[in-house]
Amino acid sequence: MTYDYDLFVIGAGSGGLAASKRAASYGAKVAIAENDLVGGTCVIRGCVPKKLMVYASHFPALFTDAAGYGWEVGEYNLDWEKFITSIDNEVRRLSKLHISFLEKAGVQLISGRGTLIDAHTVEVDGKKYTTEKILIAVGGRPVKPDLPGMEHAITSNEIFHLQEKPQHIAIIGAGYIGTEFACIMRGLGCQVTQIIRKDLILKGFDDDIRNNIQEGMIQHGINIVKNAVVQSLEKTPEGIKINFADENQPAITADVFLAATGRTPNVDGLGLENAGVEMVSSQLEGPGYKSTQAIAVNESSQTSQSNIYAVGDVTDRINLTPVAIGEGRAFADSEFGNNRRLFSHETIATAVFSTPEAATVGLTEAEAKKKYGEDNVTIFRTRFRPMYYTLTGKDEKTMMKLVVETATEKILGAHMVGENAAEIIQGVAIAVKMGATKADFDATVGIHPSAAEEFVTMR
């Protein structure tokens, strides 16, 4: 049978863009459908605009630190309208750039939401396209808990478009999104309250990362309300009133309430049932949430329908931009490049752009001890004040940690909290991925003076 396309991609985010360009480079006829700006969550309302906000949030601390080095810095003020407009302009510039990349690669961009009619047919705005293979890469979307008054809350989508800087923002959520925005908004001069259901933020990260970030956040003036369950929101003349399930927990009123407690695969309206694509449950934790669904795939990103594949957040595996890109390229290489390969989901480095920043690769201490046995794991840890702060008077700390298998000395995990953690762990991740040992680290000469040298001098 002759098809209109060799590959039809639904979703022009990180995974879809990477896969479509790679497939086209092998000579495949490729189309990609997108009903939003091209670039996906990362470019439009995720990694890129968030990191720009992170940069902006650091300037007040730099201004005050300068005094310790003899600089006299005058009054400073954030022009909020210029700030958010500049970010939006950069997002739109990058989206146009990605469109040009598609054009250069020979990929046809079709505007609109793609819907599966059957296993080989996609409909976009009433027009049907036939295709040999389909790749679903529509990502995920933030969801709010189903609680009274939650219509007054915003999500991580809307926070980039606030017309005014809040005086007080309340955030529900202990994950990396809630934690990062708590730190961003505090750095930008807002009063911040972060509401979490347990004692610690960042479930799933190493406990030393969790404790050190939370301690730093509190030190920087963020009010963390622990062991609290939001029951409802109310719109009042003073702002948004947050009521708690525990009557002994006083209500909080804030200008803006950010719900950052979950994201769900963006599968609604895809017509997956028309093509026989199976789903798998994807559970969101917490009051007001119900289980959602992700697309079920095998290790090759293949769905239950042999010619249909899915990559990225829509599969709810490891929801990171570089992972979606890696999955997309592995798919294209395998199906169109005569280079069948699997993308490894093991030993993936990641970062939390909080203040203080954190980054990690490999196993946490708890995971390593569970896998290898408590007596078979050795922990190396250091905590110190970086040289930068010796003249500022601030009591900022950096934490570094290596998780090592005792018998082989293999590095199982590396974790860091402190400035430039992501930049440092990126390099360390190469060594961990290659199977480096503690002896390899010890034999490496450190760069002095630097914080990074601590990773090769820990004893």
pLDDT digits 0-9 by tens, 107-152: 999 999 999 999 999 999 999 999 999 999 999 999 999 999 999 9
- Section 26-36 average pLDDT: 98
What pLDDT band is residue 290 in, cutting at 50, 70 and 90? low
* pLDDT tens-place string over residues 206-258: 999 999 999 999 999 999 999 999 999 999 999 999 999 999 999 999 999 99
Given a cut of 80, whether residue 85 has pLDDT beyond it is yes
- In the beta sheet, which residues pair with residue 400? 382, 416
Confidence label for 1 from pLDDT (cuts 50, 70 and 90): confident
pLDDT tens digit sequence for 51-61:
999 999 999 99
Q: What is the mean pLDDT of residues 178-194?
A: 98
CATH number of 356-456: 3.30.390.30
Buried-state track 316-340, b at ≥16 Cβ within 10 A, e below 16: bbbbbbebbbbbbbbbbbbbbbeee
- Note the pLDDT of residue 283: 64
Number of residues assigned to the chain: 459
Distance of CA 126 to the CA centre of its chain: 34
CA distance 255 to 199: 25
**Catalytic center residues:** 448
Q: Where are the domains of the chain?
A: 5-140+264-336, 150-261, 356-456
Could you give the percent of the chain with pLDDT greater than 90?
97
pLDDT confidence of residue 292: 83
User: Residue 370: what pLDDT?
Assistant: 98
373 exposed, middle or buried (CB, 10 Å; 0-12, 13-18, 19+)? Answer: exposed
Q: What pLDDT, on a 0 to 100 scale, did the predictor assign at position 207? A: 98
How far apart, in whole angstroms, are the C-alpha atoms of residue 217 and residue 351? 16
What is the distance between the alpha carbons of residues 46 and 28, in angstroms, rounded to a whole number?
30
Domains 5-140+264-336 and 150-261 agree in fold: yes
* pLDDT bracket for residue 282 (50, 70, 90): confident
Mean pLDDT estimate for the chain: 97
pLDDT band at 285 (very low <50, low <70, confident <90, very high): low
Q: Model confidence at 390, in pLDDT bands (50, 70, 90)? A: very high
The span from the CA of 202 to the CA of 225, in Å, is 14
Task: State residue 262's pLDDT score.
Answer: 87
Range 5-140+264-336 has CATH code 3.30.1360.120? no
Question: Are the CB atoms for 310 and 169 separated by under 8 Å?
Answer: no
Give the CATH number of domain 150-261.
3.50.50.60
Q: Quick one: CA dihedral 300, 306, 311, 315, positive or negative?
A: negative
Contacts of residue 324, Cβ cutoff 8 Å, sequence gap at least 6: 13, 14, 15, 18, 137, 139, 311, 312, 313
CB atoms within 10 A of CB 250: 10
Q: Is the pLDDT of residue 289 over 90?
A: no
